[in-house]
Amino acid sequence: MGFGEEDISLISFHSVSNGYYGECGRRGGYMEVTGFNSEVRKQVYKVASLSSCSNLAGQVLVSLVMNPPKVGDESYTSYWEERDRIMLSLSRCAEAMVQAFNSLEGLTCSKAEGAMFVFPSVRLPKRAIAAAEAMNTKPDVFYALRLLENTGIVVLPGSVFGQVPGTWHFRCTILQQEEKIQLIINRFKAFHETFMEEFRD
């Protein structure tokens, strides 16, 4: 991004369960500390070292992430073919979801940029906000619960993360199987259109 270590202090994390290398439930990861003086970096690593480490399977996965097959290795070709196939599938799922969200009334969604999630903003009708408040529920939670009850689709309300007061969004994963993405989009669209009509101002 054009920054050097002296320009910005950053601690980054990666988990093998949150990437194409691993799968849910596999525990292992790493962190990198950059842009801090050596004494601060030493203390951060010391604190991190106090926690328990991953089980053996997690450690093996982290090793594989850090050392993928190299040219000449027996698995080099199949590894990169599978990796590229997975990445392209994730990209197509993300594009399909963003396009679908942006086609719906009151929803806007930015392109996914290297994450497994998209974060659509939703402009909820005043009547939906009032219905949520009558139930002592945040409006985005109200929307997410109605979505779950009507479709089985799980999204995480943006209020869990914090958001600008009076705005609403939710987090939605792009990890669905590609062959099921259109079914999920169709269910979501049908729900959203019905919801907006039910609570239209």
pLDDT digits (tens, 9 = 90+) for 138-149: 999 999 999 999
Please give the Cα distance from 117 to 170 (Å, whole number).
10
Among candidates 90, 146, 143, which has minimal Cα distance to 117?
A: 90
Give mean pLDDT, residues 161-174: 90
pLDDT in tens, 6-47: 778 888 887 777 666 666 677 788 888 888 888 888 888 888
Question: What pLDDT sits at residue 19?
Answer: 64
Residue 118 class from Cβ within 10 Å (0-12 exposed, 13-18 middle, 19+ buried)? buried
Neighbouring CB atoms inside 10 A of 147's CB total 21
- Spatial neighbors of 158 by CB under 8 A, at least 6 apart, are 119, 140, 168, 169, 170, 171
pLDDT in tens, 81-121: 998 998 899 899 999 999 999 999 999 999 988 778 899 99
Among candidates 135, 196, 142, 131, which has minimal Cα distance to 168?
A: 142
pLDDT grade for 65, boundaries at 50, 70 and 90: confident
Question: What pLDDT sits at residue 112?
Answer: 87
Looking at the predicted structure, is the pLDDT value of residue 50 above 80? no
Radius of gyration of the chain (CA): 21
Residue with tokens 């039910």: 198
pLDDT grade for 66, boundaries at 50, 70 and 90: confident
With beta carbons less than 8 A apart as the criterion, state whether 16 and 63 touch. Answer: no
Please give the Cα distance from 150 to 84 (Å, whole number).
35
Residue ranges, CATH 3.90.1150.10, the chain: 89-199
With beta carbons less than 8 A apart as the criterion, state whether 105 and 95 touch. Answer: no
Looking at the predicted structure, is the pLDDT value of residue 153 above 80? yes
Question: Between 3.90.1150.10, 3.40.50.1110, 3.40.50.720, 3.40.50.2300, what CATH number should domain 89-199 receive?
Answer: 3.90.1150.10
